């Protein structure tokens, strides 16, 4: 704020208006109205304690998809499917965001994954609401926009078969972040973030519809894409694609999910 | 209630019974009778088959007279399980599936998916320049045709039929160009992981120049027809109001977000495909004294201006395509690149004659390679990616997950229409039934994308 007392002078914290372009992290506002401790701090030591490293999802053998006989001689090849992790880069905003979040919620993160330019926070489901609340409200974090929620089913990730990925966008700082939480198959419960981000309403309904993940606290968790009386959760890996064998010129072609296919 | 005998009956004809007429004094009594029941709430089921719902959208309205007390959108009627199907096809075949999601803006689905796959492959910086220009060209032409559908159908719904007829005339020109390039008017599968399916045909640049001249001549007509048309303005100004806070809370992006005055265009904020090298403006409504923005009219004006900006980009693309003639349109790595250039022959689109000659007559290794990459496809390193782009409707992005195999492990399309329909209640409750049509039209949902 300058010293002039023009009639249209703005209140402190109102410097950022919709007319001001956010070109990058530099031109984003350094202060917010909500918190007095909004200035950046250097205490990033906690970041070093965050578990990093690749995460093994599955180990598989052979060249072909499940159950197919393998006469190719490749049957003893062992593949390890792991989600790679480059570790937090020293440049950019990433370490700052991790440090800030750990300051607000000390044991927020199960794992931090930085892969191909995208930052992912793995959060225990018990901590999800608190972490998302801080990510939204804190002036330094300020991920105010939730574009997407999507589920992923990893049948071989024991104890964490169902993942929910929340994609967040900070328009204030022009940053993107993925928050991921997991739940086991036999207890498919995750707290709802709809009270924090109303945009999650339909997304959580869709994830419930497709994966059977129950979002506790959701105002109206019903099926949204499938018919109300549908049985089963179509996007789970053990749910068949459907389809019938097709006969053509004497040969029978099985439906796509029963064909032998390459891994 | 007073009634008369059937006075339309000819003399001697048998009367059909009691007739209610709009003449005479009985209307006051009918109105009074209706007023006694005025506290009753009427539940109206609008759709799923209704001309003003942009496809199979169902709106359940509770009305007091003509005032909407509550409105709940019901979706899912066009759910076709595209995301599930993609898990059983190769990565390249995925392009053919996503293009069928939002069928009014198919190129954007393909680009969103392919950018995600390319990030997983780690080849984002290896895409040839000409392929990027072709992608931008197709996206911007598609943006114009999508906005034309939005404006045209939106205009038709409020009685401005001419806007629809001239809108579809321009769109037809664009679809003709698409057909010349990709072989199809929709369902293109033109953008592939690694580049695009085929280069422009020989007459491509000439046809593009013709198209640009046509659009230059005809795009200004919409502003002349509509901008100051009093009926048009009375139907749209102040209708479907949604302010910035509501847009943020409900995940609304695109022209609806920019109609609040907040200038958020991913082409400017998080450039992709080389958008930072083009000269264009992102359009947001500038609040003026005349009326509050964030309404249907502002969205209409934004779409008009965006079409003009898109045309500017298309012109720049045409220049670049002219100077880069003959350059590759697919990534150099033969383990990823689709082996053939497609060509449009007399019996439809297929592999080019030169390629068939090469693999069938000249090189055994080329045939093996062709067979392997077409049946097996390529492997994508494990991980996940989410690359957002600016579609005509708003942020579209594909959450692509790979387990290191030849097929997508999980694909989830974030379609802007899905989010935007959530805001129908906030825009319509308390308004009139007739304004619901205007508000839904200004959100521009396409059910193919919403339901997937």
- The answer to whether B303 and B150 are in contact (CB under 8 A) is yes
Q: Inform me whether the pLDDT recorded for B240 exceeds 50.
A: yes
Indicate yes or no: CB of A147 within 8 angstroms of CB of B418: no
Query: Is B348 in a helix, a strand, or coil?
Result: strand
The ipTM of this complex is 0.83
Q: Indicate the residue of A171, A176, A225 with minimum beta-carbon distance to B451.
A: A225
Q: Indicate the residue of A116, A147, A169 with minimum beta-carbon distance to B383.
A: A116
Residues of B in contact with A176 (CB under 8 A): 270, 386, 388
User: B82-336+378-451, which class in CATH?
Assistant: mainly alpha
Q: Tell me: the pLDDT tens digits for A65-84?
A: 665 666 667 777 787 888 88
Q: Inform me whether the pLDDT recorded for A13 exceeds 90.
A: no
Query: Residue B414 and residue B446: Cα distance in Å, rounded?
Result: 13
Query: Residue A142 and residue B290: Cα distance in Å, rounded?
Result: 33
Query: Residue B202 and residue B416: Cα distance in Å, rounded?
Result: 36
Q: Specify the residue for token string 């440049």.
A: A91
Comparing B215 with A68, the larger pLDDT belongs to B215
At residue A72, the pLDDT reads 66
Query: Residue B139 and residue B393: Cα distance in Å, rounded?
Result: 13
Indicate yes or no: CB of B76 within 8 angstroms of CB of A226: yes
Q: Model's pTM, two decimal places?
A: 0.84
Indicate yes or no: CB of B88 within 8 angstroms of CB of A261: yes
> Which residue of chain A comes nearest to B406, CA vs CA?
A263
Confidence of residue B148 (pLDDT cuts 50, 70, 90): very high
Q: Tell me: the pLDDT tens digits for B251-264?
A: 999 999 988 888 88
Q: Inform me whether the pLDDT recorded for B233 exceeds 70.
A: yes
Q: Inform me whether the pLDDT recorded for A40 exceeds 70.
A: no
Residues of A in contact with B401 (CB under 8 A): 152
Of B27, B29, B7, residue with least CA distance to B19: B7
Residues of B in contact with A206 (CB under 8 A): 418
Rounded to the nearest angstrom, the gap between the alpha carbon of residue A258 and the centroid of all alpha carbons in its chain is: 30
Q: How far is CA B268 from CA A90, B363, B415, in A?
A: 26, 46, 20
Rounded to the nearest angstrom, the gap between the alpha carbon of residue B226 and the centroid of all alpha carbons in its chain is: 21
CB atoms inside a 10 Å sphere around CB B228: 9
Strand arrangement of the beta sheet that strand B42-46 belongs to: B42-46, B58-64, B67-74
Residues of B in contact with A19 (CB under 8 A): 261
Q: Tell me: the pLDDT tens digits for B157-213?
A: 888 888 889 999 999 999 999 988 888 888 888 999 988 988 888 888 999 999 999
Q: Please state, for a pLDDT cut of 70, what percent of chain A lies above it.
A: 76
Q: Which of A202, A213, A239 to mutate to test the interface with B (most CBs of B within 10 A)?
A: A202
At B351, list the tokens.
């592999």
Q: Tell me: the pLDDT tens digits for A194-226?
A: 999 999 999 999 999 999 999 999 988 988 999
Residues of B in contact with A116 (CB under 8 A): 119-120, 122, 383, 385
Start-to-end CA distance of chain B, whole Å, equals 53
Query: Residue B76 and residue B39: Cα distance in Å, rounded?
Result: 33
A110 touching B, CB under 8 A? no
At B353, list the tokens.
């004659």
User: Of B26-30, B39-43, B281-285, which gets the smallest average pLDDT?
Assistant: B26-30
B140: exposed, middle or buried (C-beta count within 10 Å: 0-12, 13-18, 19+)?
buried
**Helix residue ranges, H only, A78-143:** 94-104, 128-137
């Amino acid at each position: 704020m300058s010293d002039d007392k023009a009639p249209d002078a703005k209140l402190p914290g109102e410097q950022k208006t919709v007319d001001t372009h956010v070109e990058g992290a530099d031109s984003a506002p350094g202060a917010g109205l909500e918190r007095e401790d909004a200035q950046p701090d250097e205490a990033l030591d906690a970041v070093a304690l965050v578990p990093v490293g690749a995460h093994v999802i599955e180990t598989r053998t052979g060249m072909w998809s499940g159950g197919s006989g393998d006469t190719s001689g490749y049957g003893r090849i062992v593949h390890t499917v792991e989600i790679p992790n480059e570790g937090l880069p020293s440049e950019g905003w990433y370490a700052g965001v991790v440090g800030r979040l750990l300051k607000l919620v000390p044991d927020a993160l199960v794992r931090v994954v930085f892969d191909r330019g995208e930052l992912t926070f793995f959060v225990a489901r018990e901590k999800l609401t608190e972490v998302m609340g801080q990510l939204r409200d804190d002036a330094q974090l300020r991920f105010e926009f939730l574009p997407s929620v999507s589920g992923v089913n990893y049948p071989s990730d024991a104890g964490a078969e169902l993942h929910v990925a929340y994609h967040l966008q900070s328009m204030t700082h022009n940053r993107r972040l993925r928050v991921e939480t997991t739940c086991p198959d036999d207890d498919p419960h995750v707290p709802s973030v709809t009270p924090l981000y109303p945009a999650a309403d339909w997304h959580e309904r869709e994830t419930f519809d497709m994966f059977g993940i129950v979002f506790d606290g959701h105002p109206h968790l019903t099926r949204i894409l499938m018919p109300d009386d549908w049985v089963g959760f179509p996007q789970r890996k053990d749910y068949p694609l459907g389809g019938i064998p097709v006969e053509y010129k004497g040969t029978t072609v099985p439906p796509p999910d029963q064909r032998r296919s390459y891994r | 209630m007073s009634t008369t005998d059937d006075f339309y009956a000819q003399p001697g004809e048998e009367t059909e019974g009691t007739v209610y007429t709009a003449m005479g004094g009985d209307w006051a009594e009918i109105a009074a009778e209706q007023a006694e029941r005025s506290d009753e709430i009427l539940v109206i089921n609008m759709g799923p088959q209704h001309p003003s719902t942009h496809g199979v959208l169902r709106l359940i309205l509770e009305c007091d007279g003509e005032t909407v007390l509550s409105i709940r959108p019901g979706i899912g009627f066009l759910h076709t399980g595209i995301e599930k199907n993609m898990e059983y096809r190769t990565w390249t075949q995925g392009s053919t599936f996503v293009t069928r999601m939002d069928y009014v803006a198919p190129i954007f689905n393909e680009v969103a998916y392919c950018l995600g796959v390319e990030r997983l492959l780690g080849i984002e910086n290896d895409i040839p320049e000409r392929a990027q220009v072709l992608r931008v060209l197709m996206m911007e032409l598609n943006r114009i045709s999508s906005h034309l559908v939005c404006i045209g159908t939106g205009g038709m719904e409020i009685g401005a039929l001419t806007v629809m007829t001239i809108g579809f005339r321009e769109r037809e020109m664009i679809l003709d160009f698409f057909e010349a390039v990709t072989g199809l008017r929709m369902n293109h599968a033109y953008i592939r992981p690694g580049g695009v399916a085929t280069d422009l045909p020989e007459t491509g640049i000439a046809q593009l120049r013709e198209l640009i001249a046509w659009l230059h001549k005809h795009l200004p007509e919409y502003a002349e027809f509509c901008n100051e048309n009093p009926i048009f303005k009375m139907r749209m100004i102040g209708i479907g109001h949604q302010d910035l806070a509501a847009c943020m809370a409900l995940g609304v992006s695109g022209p609806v977000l920019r109609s609040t005055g907040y200038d958020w265009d991913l082409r400017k904020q998080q450039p992709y495909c080389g958008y930072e090298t083009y000269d264009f403006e992102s359009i947001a409504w500038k609040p003026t004294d005349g009326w509050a923005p964030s309404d249907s009219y502002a969205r209409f004006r934004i779409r008009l201006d965006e079409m003009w900006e898109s045309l500017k980009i298309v012109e720049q693309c045409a220049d670049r395509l002219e100077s880069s003639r003959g350059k590759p349109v697919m990534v150099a790595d033969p383990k990823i690149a689709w082996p053939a250039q497609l060509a449009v022959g007399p019996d439809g689109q297929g592999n080019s004659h030169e390629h068939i000659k090469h693999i069938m007559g000249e090189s055994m290794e080329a045939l093996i390679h062709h067979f392997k990459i077409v049946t097996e496809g390529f492997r994508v390193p494990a991980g996940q990616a989410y690359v957002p782009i600016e579609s005509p409707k708003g942020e579209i992005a594909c959450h692509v997950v790979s387990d290191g195999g030849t097929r997508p492990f999980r694909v989830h399309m974030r379609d802007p229409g899905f989010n935007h329909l959530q805001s129908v209640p906030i825009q319509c409750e308390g308004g009139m039934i007739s304004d619901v049509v205007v508000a839904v039209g200004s959100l521009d949902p396409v059910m193919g994308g919403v339901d997937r």
